[in-house]
Amino acid sequence: MSIESAGAPVTQLSEDEKMFADAVRAFARDEVAPLARRMDEEQRMDAALIEKMFALGLMGIEIPETYGGSGGSFFDAVLAVELLSAVDPAVALIVDVHNTLVASSIMRWGSEEQRRSYLPRLAADTVGAYALSEAGSGSDAFALETRAEKRGNDYLLTGRKLWISNAKEAGLFVVFATVDADAGYKGITAFLVEKGAAGLTVGRKEDKLGIRASSTCELILEECVAPASRVLGAVGQGYKVAIETLNEGRIGIGAQMLGLAEGAWSHAVKHARERRQFGKALVEFQAMQFQLAELATEIEAARLMVYNAARLKDARCEFRKEAAMAKYIASQTAERVASRAVEVLGGSGFVKDSPVEKFYRDAKIGSIYEGTSFMQLTAIAKIVL
């Protein structure tokens, strides 16, 4: 399994999926890999790279062709996230959030006017961000303090959102606020807010452990104007929008962690083949063979779970349990594989010249965002027990 061949065995993909995977893999190798280290060090996403992802159709994978998108499947989006993550999980994240959270929520919950207005832009040149988390509402996602007050034909949004991925690059935000605090989760409402809206400010960018090229910023809303026509779904249905969208998003994060594990494993194998000790290549030692074989098995198990969840979603079958399981297993696998890859490379793996050092830092977020590992276990337990 190399970066060249990372991804599913060909027997698991249709001919169209193989062609798509080949295109994404080549893009990751030729366009992403040369920029990964610099973007990580500078903590910024290359603007030209984002333009290329739009041009390739990676930012509108599921958007129907009638709205300017690629008309692909959810599985296609998951495959793209996996293959990009094998080179740089930070680049994959912008594709994941944009497709599985923002575009998908508008396709499912948006009015026809909203679809005509926003989907062509999301497919062509406008990055999307998803603003749910706050200082006091992480795992307890619906303990929102951001308020939406109705004034005439507008809503005025006031509050602060934290840890918003894509915030610096985004031109459109899906923002969650409550119109009635006494109504609990039934008062939560989703709004479509454009960059430049009165009262909206993108705050400081977080200095993070990993996925540093991906912007994670505070979002400040001070009586931010959102016309009633920008309510996504219906007033009070924000919790449904969030829950259903995040169930899909968990599969996307599972794919990100799967690709990360594949990338780290590939570098470990390459080093084990090239590095010689005691007159032999490391890969000739049975202890090394067993370690790499064990990791390959764990990666394959994670892949099957991620792919299964994505296929179920595309088939319109129940997939909540499988999504939670896939994210949990993939994030655990990514941490183990990245950690072991650093050990395989030894001193070479502990320095920033090595890609596995970055994979090791990037892996930690998988067990935190879009539902911590503890929350995934809670969700799984509620279903299976």
- For the stretch 4-25, pLDDT in tens is 444 444 447 999 999 999 999 9
pTM: 0.94
Q: Which fold has domain 240-384?
A: Butyryl-CoA Dehydrogenase, subunit A; domain 3 (1.20.140)
Contact 288, 340 (CB under 8 A): no
Q: Is the pLDDT of residue 129 over 90?
A: yes
Asked if 147 and 157 touch (Cβ cutoff 8 Å), the reply is yes
C-alpha angle 119/124/128, rounded to 5°? 60
Domain range annotation of the chain: 10-127, 129-236, 240-384
* Mean of pLDDT values over 139-155: 90
Write out the catalytic residue numbers: 370
**Residue 10 has what pLDDT?**
40
Q: Over the stretch 57-89, which tens digit does the pLDDT of each residue have?
A: 999 999 999 999 999 999 999 999 999 999 999
DSSP states along 191-246:
EEEETT-TTEEEEEEP--SS-TTS-EEEEEEEEEEEEGGGEES-TT-HHHHHHHHH
Domain 129-236 has CATH 2.40.110.10: yes
Q: Is the pLDDT of residue 3 over 80?
A: no
CATH 3.40.50.970 at 10-127, yes or no: no
Beta strand pairing status for 127-131 and 170-178? Answer: parallel
Residue 319 pLDDT: 97
Please calculate the CA angle 5-72-59 and round it to the nearest 5 degrees.
80
Check if the beta carbon of residue 213 is closer than 8 Å to that of residue 91: yes
What's the confidence (pLDDT) of residue 136? 86
Distance, in Å, from the CA atom of 215 to the CA atom of 264, rounded to the nearest integer, reads 23
- Confirm if 261 and 255 have CB atoms less than 8 A apart: no
For tokens 């300017």, name the residue: 68
Lookup: tokens for 18: 């193989």
What proportion of the chain, given as a percentage, has pLDDT over 70?
A: 97
* Max CA separation in the chain (angstroms): 79
